[in-house]
């Protein structure tokens, strides 16, 4: 019998008030049920938000270094459970074990970074324009944070949001993706074991329409952090505007790797293979477009096709597998539909393009790594986020043209340029319109202590990761201390 999981609200594990549940299955073997989870509604969200509001009044008064001590213990517990968490994650969403171990490690790094921020959370002191007066600005927690996360990084991305939210003194209502609720539950269990009080962290399972939008629309939620599609992000922004919530949106991408004629082609090859087909292409930072200088186009394509055709598709728990399944049937169908779109637009299918068959593949949502050539920058497969193992190859004659093609989408998350020319590298850094630019590295590979996010329709300007995420989860409070003993009037002409 499949394991039964529950919500965690106000310090107690509980079912959805409706009693409804949904199943969580292994995308590499759809017959395997990992567990059943509460199919919650807005009533469950309301209970969680009220619990978080009550808990906030005590949690905000816990000294930040003490909250940091809890984050350090979270990191220690994640280290001890790393392999268990990685295997659970692979069963839930499919990516290969080496990647899920990396997902957990990202969470560990984020925990230790958050721990150190507990002894910083820097404010500022500045001179006053008046005598015998002291000016400073300090950070204070905001209140109840709604955290809504995707399935492709079911440990790393929740930690990017929850750890800084808690460290800053906020309480959290957490809605994980319905495709990865078990990993999310494990994270909450670790937080509780480390010493986070009940009510400070709450998890409510269920669908985006009921639970996710229930959080966004709740009048007592003060801020929302969401990672997901641009279309959903726009809806969240609209609903949150009704209560003037602070909202952080990390949305879609259509990232490109530009390879110049002086590049190290072997290095660029490793980069595009990892960027395009790592996580089965199911990353917001995935390399979805490859822009090749015409002088190295034929040579590089020969190298790329040879390596891509040898990538092994299968269950991510099995050794020597390179590419796992799509997360579910709907995502597999999306990939299939974009292959059809590419062919209809006149692009050439250079390799892949099919649902594979073979031992161990019949019960999973697998798709071959796929490469299109003859792609025009205006083609839909070069403009729209696919979120699957599909790479569109575009030819360019110069750096300037390549950058223009790279910039020519509504997204601006990650970018990559391979060149040995330092002048070209810095020109690319200057002119590429993206939140992240890699030189001689793939479009994927964010580090926990650096800002993460994009421009244009990739987000609304906030950054996760590093020191910048603490700007989102804290409010600035300006403090004036006048010790003159008399009324001093600022904003009056004293000159």
Please indicate whether residue 284 is annotated as part of the active site.
yes
Whether the CB-CB separation of 277 and 290 falls below 8 Å is answered with no
φ/ψ of residue 436, rounded to 5: -135, 135
Pick the catalytic residue from 250, 368, 385, 464: 250
In this structure, are residues 16 and 44 in contact, taking their beta carbons and an 8 Å threshold? yes
Phi and psi angles of residue 77, each rounded to the nearest 5 degrees, phi first:
-65, -35
CA–CA distance, 150 with 425 (Å, rounded to integer): 33
Q: Which of 106, 117, 284, 464 is catalytic?
A: 284
Q: Which stretches of 260-361 are assigned E, i.e. beta strand?
A: 287-293, 348-351
DSSP 275: H
Q: Which helix (H) or strand (E) holds 298?
A: helix 297-309
Q: Quick check: helix, strand or coil at residue 162?
A: helix
Q: For residues 400 and 309, give the distance between their C-alpha atoms in angstroms, rounded to a whole number.
A: 32
The CA-atom distances, in angstroms, between 288 and each of 26, 280, 285, 375, 449 are 25, 11, 9, 12, 25
Decide if 384 is catalytic.
no
Q: Cβ(454)–Cβ(414) under 8 Å? A: yes
**214-to-131, 207, 237, 291 alpha-carbon distances in Å:** 51, 10, 13, 42
Active-site residue list: 250, 284
């Amino acid at each position: 019998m499949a394991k039964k999981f529950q919500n965690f609200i106000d310090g107690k594990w509980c079912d959805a008030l409706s009693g409804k549940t949904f199943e969580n299955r292994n995308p590499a073997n759809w017959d395997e049920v990992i567990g059943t989870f509460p199919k919650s509604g807005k009533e469950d969200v309301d209970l969680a938000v009220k619990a978080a509001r009550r808990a906030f009044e005590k949690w905000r008064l816990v000294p930040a270094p003490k909250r940091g001590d809890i984050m350090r213990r979270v990191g220690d517990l994640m280290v001890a459970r790393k392999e268990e968490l990685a295997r659970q994650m692979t069963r839930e969403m499919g990516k290969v074990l080496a990647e899920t171990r990396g997902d957990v490690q990202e969470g560990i790094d984020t925990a230790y970074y958050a721990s150190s921020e507990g002894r910083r959370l820097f404010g500022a002191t500045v001179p006053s324009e008046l005598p015998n007066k002291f000016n400073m600005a300090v950070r204070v927690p905001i209140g109840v944070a709604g955290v809504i996360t995707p399935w492709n990084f079911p440990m790393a991305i929740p930690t990017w949001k929850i750890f800084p939210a808690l460290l800053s003194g906020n309480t959290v209502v957490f809605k994980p993706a319905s495709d990865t609720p078990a990993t999310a539950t494990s994270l909450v269990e670790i937080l509780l074991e480390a010493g986070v009080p009940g009510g400070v962290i709450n998890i409510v399972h269920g669908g985006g329409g009921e639970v996710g939008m229930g959080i966004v629309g709740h009048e007592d939620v003060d801020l929302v952090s969401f990672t997901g599609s641009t279309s959903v992000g726009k809806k969240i922004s609209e609903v949150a505007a009704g209560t003037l919530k602070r909202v952080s949106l990390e949305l879609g991408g259509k990232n490109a790797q530009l390879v110049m004629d002086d590049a190290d082609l072997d290095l660029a090859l490793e980069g595009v293979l990892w960027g395009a087909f790592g996580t089965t292409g199911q990353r917001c930072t995935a390399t979805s477009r490859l822009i090749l200088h015409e002088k190295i186009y034929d040579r590089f394509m020969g190298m790329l096709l040879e390596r891509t055709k040898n990538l092994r598709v299968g269950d991510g728990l099995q050794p020597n597998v390179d590419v796992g399944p799509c997360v579910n049937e709907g995502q597999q169908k999306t990939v299939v539909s974009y292959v059809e779109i590419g062919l209809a637009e006149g692009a050439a299918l250079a390799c892949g393009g099919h649902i594979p068959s073979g031992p161990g593949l019949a019960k999973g949502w697998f798709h071959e790594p796929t490469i299109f050539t003859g792609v025009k920058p205006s083609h839909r497969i070069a403009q729209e986020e696919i979120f699957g193992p599909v790479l569109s190859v575009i030819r360019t004659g110069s750096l300037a043209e390549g950058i223009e093609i790279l910039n020519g989408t509504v997204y601006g998350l990650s970018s990559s340029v391979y060149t040995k020319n330092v002048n070209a590298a810095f020109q690319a850094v200057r002119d590429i319109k993206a939140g992240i630019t890699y030189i001689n590295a793939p479009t994927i590979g964010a580090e926990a202590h650096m800002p993460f996010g994009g421009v244009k329709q990739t987000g609304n300007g906030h950054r996760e990761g590093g020191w910048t995420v603490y700007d989102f989860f804290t409010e600035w409070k300006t403090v004036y201390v006048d010790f003159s003993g008399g009324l001093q009037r600022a904003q009056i002409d004293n000159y």
